[in-house]
Structure 1
Amino acid sequence: MPGVRWLSESEMRAWRPYVVASLRLRQRLHRELTEAHDVSLTDYEVLVCLDLQDDNRMRMSDLATMLGSTKSRLSHQVGRMECEGLLCRIPDPEDKRGVIAEITPAGTELLIKAAPTHVEGVRAHLINLLSPEEQKVLAVAFSRVLEHLNELGE
C-alpha cells in the first residue's frame, strides 16, 4: 500500500513478542488465580482498583477508565461480581446519574487471599526475568504509551 510506513525488522522484533507475550502473560496470571482462588484476573483487577481507594469505592466511569474497559463491559462484570457478594453498587450522592462500586468484606477477604498468588506470578513470569535497568526502561516506555493513549481518550 502506498504511503504506509511498514515496520522495520527491528521494530517488528519489538512489536510481535510484546503482543504475544502480553497476551500469554495475562492468560497465565488468569489461570493461576482461577485455579488457586476461583477468581478471574479481570475480577481481581477490579478488586485491586477498589481496594486502592481510601474509602474502597469508586465511580463506575472512573473504574472503567482505570481498567481500560468500556462502561458496558464493566457494568456486566460488576453485576456478576455483585451477585457473588464481592462488591456492591450504590448511587453516587454527588451525581444522580452516577453509580459507585464498593468492595465488600467478602471481596476484601478474597483479595487478601489471592494477592500473594498474583504477586508471585507477576514476579515469576515478568519481574524476575528483567534486570533492574530493564524494569526501569519498561516502566518509562509503557508509561509513555499509556499517557499517549490517555491523551487520545482511549
Structure 2
Amino acid sequence: MDRLDDELREAFGIGLNEYEVLVRLSEADQHALRMSTLADAMRFSRSRITHTISRMEAAGWVERCKSGDDGRGIVAQLTDQGYALLVEAAPTHVTGVREHLVDIADADDFAAMGRVMDAVVDKLSAAHPEVDIR
C-alpha cells in the first residue's frame, strides 16, 4: 500500500486515499455521493472524510454541494478536473498493483486468497446483516 501511495504521490501529487475517493465518485450516479456514504464506504470518520474532501476541493478535483434528495445532506461531486486526473493516474495505479501484487502471485495463491476473503465476508455478513458488505 505504501509503494502504491508513493507512486501516485510522486507522479500526480495525490495519495491512495484521494485516488480511492476519485474512483468511488467516478463510479457513482452523476459522479456524486453523500459525504456520509463516502465516509462509510471508505471506513473513514466523518471528520477525516471532511478533511480529505476539503483538500481535494481546494485542488479542484471535487466540489461540495447540497443533496438534491433532501437539501440537508452534503454531496461530494467529482469535477471535470478530478475525472481527468483519475484517467491520467489510473494506468500508473493499475501498473503498480500488477507489479507489486498480481505478477508475483500465482493463480493458486489468488484462489486461496479469494476463499479466505469469502469466509471473512460471510462471517461479517452473518454478524451484521444490516450492513451490505458485498
Q: TM-score of the superposition, structure 1-length normalised?
A: 0.75
Q: CA RMSD in A?
A: 2.1
Is 1:151 matched up with 2:104?
Answer: no
Give the match for residue 100 of structure 1. 75
Mapping 1:2-151, distance limit 5 Å: 26-146=1-121, 148=124, 151=128
1:132 Cα deviation after fit: 2.0
Q: Which runs of 5+ in 2 are unaligned?
A: none
Larger Rg computed on CA atoms: 1
Aligned CA distance change for structure 1 residues 43 and 143 (closer, same or farther; 3 Å):
farther
Q: Which runs of 5+ in 1 are unaligned?
A: 1-25
Runs of 4+ off more than 4 Å: none
Aligned CA distance change for structure 1 residues 56 and 95 (closer, same or farther; 3 Å):
same
Give the Cα–Cα distance (whole angstroms) in 2 for the partners of residues 127 and 65 of structure 1: 27
1:134 Cα deviation after fit: 1.9
Give the Cα–Cα distance (whole angstroms) in 1 for the partners of residues 37 and 118 of structure 2: 19
Q: TM-score of the superposition, structure 2-length normalised?
A: 0.86
Give the paired residue count.
Answer: 129
Q: What whole-Å deviation, never above 9, does each CA across 1:7-47 have from its counterpart, x for those lacking one?
A: xxxxxxxxxxxxxxxxxxx1100100011111111110100
Give the Cα–Cα distance (whole angstroms) in 2 for the partners of residues 143 and 51 of structure 1: 26
Give the Cα–Cα distance (whole angstroms) in 2 for the partners of residues 96 and 145 of structure 1: 37
1:137 Cα deviation after fit: 2.6
